[in-house]
A and B are shown apart, each in its own frame.
Chain A
Amino acid sequence: MAISAAARLEARRALEPLPLLEGEQDDGTINKTLLDYVWRKPGKGWLLLIGLGLAGTGLLTLALVVTIAKGIGMWGNNIPVAWAFGIINFVWWIGIGHAGTLISAILLLFQQKWRTSINRFAEAMTLFAVLQAALFPVLHTGRPWFAIYWLFPYPSTNRIWPQFKSPLMWDVFAVSTYFITSLLFWYLGLIPDLAALRDSSTSRWMRRIYGTLSFGWRGSARHWHHYKIAYLLLAGLATPLVLSVHTIVSYDFAVSVVPGWHETIFPPYFVAGAVFSGFAMVMTLMVPARRFLKLKQVVTARHLEAMCKIMLATSLIVGYGYLMEHFLSWYSGNPYDFYQYANRRGILHGPFKSAAQDPYIPIFWLMVFCNIVVPSIFWSKFGRTNVYVMWVASIFINVGMWCERFVIVVISLHRDFLPSSWGLYKPTWVDLSLLFGTICFFSLLFLLFLKFLPAVAVQEVKEMRHELHKEHERHEIPEFSQEMVHPMELEVGEEEKR
Chain B
Amino acid sequence: MPSLKLPILGSSGEGSPQPRTQWRSLDERERGLAPSGEFPPGASEIGGTSRREFVQLLGASMAFAGAAGCLKLPAEQILPYTRQPEEIVPGRPLHYATASTLGGRATGLLATAFEGRPTKIEGNPEHPSSLGATGLFEQASILQLYDPNRAAVLQEKNRPRSWREFLAAQHARANALRTKDGGAGLRFLLEPGSSPLIGELRARIQKLFPNARFRSYTAVSDDEAMRGARLAFGAALETRFDLSKARVIACLEADPLHPWPGSIPAMRGWADKREPGPEMNRLYAVECALSVTGMNADHRLRIRPSRLLPVALALAAKLGSAGGALAAFGRLGAKARLEPGQQRFVDALASDLRRAGRQGVVMVGPRSPALVHALAHAINSSLGSEAVSHQKPVLHDTETGADGLAELAAEIRSGAVDTLVVTAANPLHTAPYELNLATALDAVPNSIYRGLYQDETAQRCAWFIPATHPLEEWGDARAHDGTVTFLQPLVQPLFNGVSEAQVLAAFLGEGDKSPYAQLREYWRATRADAATAWEKWISDGFIRGTASPAESPQVRADAVAAAAQSARFETASPALELNVVPDYRLYDGRFANNVWLQETPDPVTKLTWDNAALMSPATARELGVKTHDAVDLGLRGPPVHAAVLVVPGHADGAVTVSLGYGRRGSEQNAAGVGFDVAPLRRASAPWGGRGLTVTRLGRRHSLAITQEHWSMEGRDPALDMDLSEYQGPGRERIEEGRVPVATMHTPWDYSKVAYKWGMAIDLARCTGCSACMVACQSENNVPVVGKGNVEKSREMHWLRLDRYFSGSEEDPRATAQPMLCVHCETAPCEYVCPVNATVHSDEGLNEMVYNRCIGTRYCSNNCPYKVRRFNFFNYTYNQEDVEKLRNNPDVTVRSRGVMEKCTYCVQRIERARIDSRVQERPIAEKEVQTACQQACPAHAIVFGNLHDPAQEVTKRHGDERHYFVLNDVGTRPRTAYLARVRNPNPELT
Contact status of A73 and B872, CB under 8 A, knowing A78-B793, A162-B834, A165-B831: yes
Contact status of A419 and B715, CB under 8 A, knowing A71-B896, A163-B834, A255-B832: yes
Q: Quick check: B865 and A417 within 8 Å, CB to CB? A: yes
Proximity string of chain A (412-440) to chain B, C-beta cutoff 8 Å, 1 when within and 0 when not: 01001111111110100000000000000
For B817, give the chain A residue with the smallest CB separation. Answer: A420
Give the distance to chain B from A377, nearest Cβ to Cβ, in Å: 37
The stretch of A79-87, A298-306, A384-392 in contact with B is A79-87
Contact of A80 among B713, B793, B856, B965 (CB under 8 A): B793
Contact of B711 among A72, A255, A419 (CB under 8 A): A419
| B713, B868, B966 — most chain A CB neighbours (10 Å) | B713
B residues 872-909 touching A (CB-CB < 8 Å): 872-874, 895-899
Q: Is the CB of B714 closer than 8 A to any CB of chain A?
A: yes
Q: In the complex, what distance in Å separates the CA atom of A142 from the CA atom of B717?
A: 31
Q: In the complex, what distance in Å separates the CA atom of A255 from the CA atom of B830?
A: 12
For B794, give the chain A residue with the smallest CB separation. Answer: A78
A-chain residues with CB within 8 Å of residue B832 when the two chains form the complex: 163, 165-168, 255-256
| B708, B852, B856 — most chain A CB neighbours (10 Å) | B856
Q: Quick check: A72 and B834 within 8 Å, CB to CB? A: no
Q: In the complex, what distance in Å separates the CA atom of A443 from the CA atom of B712?
A: 47
| A162, A256, A258, A417 — most chain B CB neighbours (10 Å) | A417
Q: In the complex, what distance in Å separates the CA atom of A312 from the CA atom of B717?
A: 44
Q: Quick check: A83 and B857 within 8 Å, CB to CB? A: yes
Contact status of A258 and B854, CB under 8 A, knowing A161-B836, A419-B712, A420-B804: no
The stretch of A31-39, A95-103, A143-151, A450-458 in contact with B is A143-151
B-chain residues with CB within 8 Å of residue A117 when the two chains form the complex: none
Contact of A79 among B855, B864, B866 (CB under 8 A): B866
A-chain residues with CB within 8 Å of residue B966 when the two chains form the complex: 417-418
Give the distance to chain B from A153, nearest Cβ to Cβ, in Å: 10
Q: Quick check: B872 and A150 within 8 Å, CB to CB? A: no
A-chain residues with CB within 8 Å of residue B713 when the two chains form the complex: 339, 351-352, 354, 419
Q: Quick check: B865 and A168 within 8 Å, CB to CB? A: no
Q: Quick check: A418 and B835 within 8 Å, CB to CB? A: no
Q: Is the CB of A257 closer than 8 A to any CB of chain B?
A: yes
Q: In the complex, what distance in Å separates the CA atom of A95 from the CA atom of B813?
A: 48
Q: Quick check: A420 and B852 within 8 Å, CB to CB? A: no
Q: In the complex, what distance in Å separates the CA atom of A63 from the CA atom of B833?
A: 26
Q: Quick check: A421 and B865 within 8 Å, CB to CB? A: yes
Q: Is the CB of A198 closer than 8 A to any CB of chain B?
A: no
Q: Quick check: A418 and B864 within 8 Å, CB to CB? A: yes
For A409, give the chain B residue with the smallest CB separation. Answer: B861
Give the distance to chain A from B446, nearest Cβ to Cβ, in Å: 50
Q: Quick check: B709 and A163 within 8 Å, CB to CB? A: no
A-chain residues with CB within 8 Å of residue B899 when the two chains form the complex: 142
Q: Is the CB of B244 closer than 8 A to any CB of chain A?
A: no
Q: Is the CB of B853 closer than 8 A to any CB of chain A?
A: yes
| B802, B803, B869 — most chain A CB neighbours (10 Å) | B802
Q: Quick check: A71 and B854 within 8 Å, CB to CB? A: no
B-chain residues with CB within 8 Å of residue A255 when the two chains form the complex: 832
B-chain residues with CB within 8 Å of residue A58 when the two chains form the complex: none
Contact of B835 among A76, A162, A336, A351 (CB under 8 A): A162
Give the distance to chain B from A406, nearest Cβ to Cβ, in Å: 15
Contact status of A413 and B873, CB under 8 A, knowing A79-B866, A163-B834, A165-B831: no
Q: In the complex, what distance in Å separates the CA atom of A420 from the CA atom of B965?
A: 13
A residues 184-199 touching B (CB-CB < 8 Å): none
Q: Is the CB of A288 closer than 8 A to any CB of chain B?
A: no
For A343, give the chain B residue with the smallest CB separation. Answer: B713
Q: In the complex, what distance in Å separates the CA atom of A165 from the CA atom of B715?
A: 30
Q: Quick check: B714 and A335 within 8 Å, CB to CB? A: yes
Q: Is the CB of B752 closer than 8 A to any CB of chain A?
A: no
Q: Quick check: A256 and B861 within 8 Å, CB to CB? A: yes
Q: In the complex, what distance in Å separates the CA atom of A11 from the CA atom of B793?
A: 66
Q: Quick check: B873 and A73 within 8 Å, CB to CB? A: yes
Contact of A82 among B795, B870, B965 (CB under 8 A): B870
Q: Quick check: B871 and A142 within 8 Å, CB to CB? A: yes
Q: In the complex, what distance in Å separates the CA atom of A335 from the CA atom of B819?
A: 21
Q: Quick check: B853 and A256 within 8 Å, CB to CB? A: no
Q: Quick check: B858 and A168 within 8 Å, CB to CB? A: yes
Q: Is the CB of A160 closer than 8 A to any CB of chain B?
A: yes
Give the distance to chain A from B806, nearest Cβ to Cβ, in Å: 11
Q: Is the CB of B789 closer than 8 A to any CB of chain A?
A: yes
Q: In the complex, what distance in Å separates the CA atom of A424 from the CA atom of B792?
A: 8
Q: Quick check: B861 and A258 within 8 Å, CB to CB? A: yes
B-chain residues with CB within 8 Å of residue A147 when the two chains form the complex: 854-856
Q: Quick check: A72 and B855 within 8 Å, CB to CB? A: yes
For A339, give the chain B residue with the smallest CB separation. Answer: B713
Q: In the complex, what distance in Å separates the CA atom of A82 from the CA atom of B834?
A: 16
| A72, A144, A161, A162 — most chain B CB neighbours (10 Å) | A72
B residues 826-840 touching A (CB-CB < 8 Å): 828, 830-836
Q: Is the CB of A172 closer than 8 A to any CB of chain B?
A: yes
Contact of A160 among B707, B717, B800, B836 (CB under 8 A): B836
Q: Quick check: A141 and B855 within 8 Å, CB to CB? A: yes
Q: Is the CB of B860 closer than 8 A to any CB of chain A?
A: yes
For B865, give the chain A residue with the smallest CB separation. Answer: A418
Q: In the complex, what distance in Å separates the CA atom of A81 from the CA atom of B833?
A: 17
Proximity string of chain B (777-802) to chain A, C-beta cutoff 8 Å, 1 when within and 0 when not: 00000000000010011110000101
B-chain residues with CB within 8 Å of residue A352 when the two chains form the complex: 713-714
Q: Is the CB of B50 closer than 8 A to any CB of chain A?
A: no
Q: Is the CB of A140 closer than 8 A to any CB of chain B?
A: yes
For A350, give the chain B residue with the smallest CB separation. Answer: B714
A residues 349-375 touching B (CB-CB < 8 Å): 350-352, 354
Q: Quick check: B873 and A417 within 8 Å, CB to CB? A: no
Q: Quick check: B860 and A82 within 8 Å, CB to CB? A: yes
A residues 92-124 touching B (CB-CB < 8 Å): none
For B792, give the chain A residue with the smallest CB separation. Answer: A78
Q: Quick check: B834 and A169 within 8 Å, CB to CB? A: yes
Q: In the complex, what distance in Å separates the CA atom of A79 from the CA atom of B870?
A: 7
Q: In the complex, what distance in Å separates the CA atom of A166 from the CA atom of B853?
A: 14
Q: In the complex, what distance in Å separates the CA atom of A445 from the CA atom of B785?
A: 40
Q: Is the CB of B862 closer than 8 A to any CB of chain A?
A: yes
Give the distance to chain B from A249, nearest Cβ to Cβ, in Å: 13
A-chain residues with CB within 8 Å of residue B857 when the two chains form the complex: 72, 77, 82-83, 142
Q: In the complex, what distance in Å separates the CA atom of A241 from the CA atom of B447?
A: 82
For A417, give the chain B residue with the smallest CB separation. Answer: B864
Q: In the complex, what distance in Å separates the CA atom of A166 from the CA atom of B858?
A: 10
Q: Quick check: A82 and B896 within 8 Å, CB to CB? A: no
Contact status of A258 and B862, CB under 8 A, knowing A162-B834, A167-B832, A423-B708: yes
Q: Quick check: A160 and B897 within 8 Å, CB to CB? A: no
B-chain residues with CB within 8 Å of residue A226 when the two chains form the complex: none
For A169, give the chain B residue with the smallest CB separation. Answer: B834
Contact status of A257 and B969, CB under 8 A, knowing A72-B855, A163-B836, A419-B713: yes
A residues 304-347 touching B (CB-CB < 8 Å): 335-336, 339
Q: Quick check: B834 and A351 within 8 Å, CB to CB? A: no
B residues 894-931 touching A (CB-CB < 8 Å): 895-899
Q: Is the CB of A225 closer than 8 A to any CB of chain B?
A: no
Q: Is the CB of A222 closer than 8 A to any CB of chain B?
A: no
| A82, A143, A168, A255 — most chain B CB neighbours (10 Å) | A82
Q: In the complex, what distance in Å separates the CA atom of A147 from the CA atom of B873?
A: 17
For B966, give the chain A residue with the smallest CB separation. Answer: A417
Q: Quick check: A71 and B897 within 8 Å, CB to CB? A: yes
Q: Quick check: B819 and A418 within 8 Å, CB to CB? A: yes
Q: Quick check: A256 and B828 within 8 Å, CB to CB? A: yes
B-chain residues with CB within 8 Å of residue A420 when the two chains form the complex: 707, 709, 717, 800, 802-804, 817, 819
B-chain residues with CB within 8 Å of residue A140 when the two chains form the complex: 856
Q: Which 10 A-B pairs have the closest CB atoms?
A: A142-B855, A142-B897, A73-B872, A421-B866, A420-B802, A82-B857, A423-B793, A168-B834, A78-B793, A73-B873
13 A–B contacts, CB within 8 A, in A order: A71-B871, A71-B897, A78-B794, A79-B860, A142-B854, A142-B897, A143-B855, A256-B861, A257-B862, A351-B714, A417-B864, A417-B969, A420-B802
A79-B870, A147-B855 given; 6 more Cβ-contact pairs under 8 Å: A73-B872, A79-B793, A79-B794, A141-B897, A257-B969, A419-B804
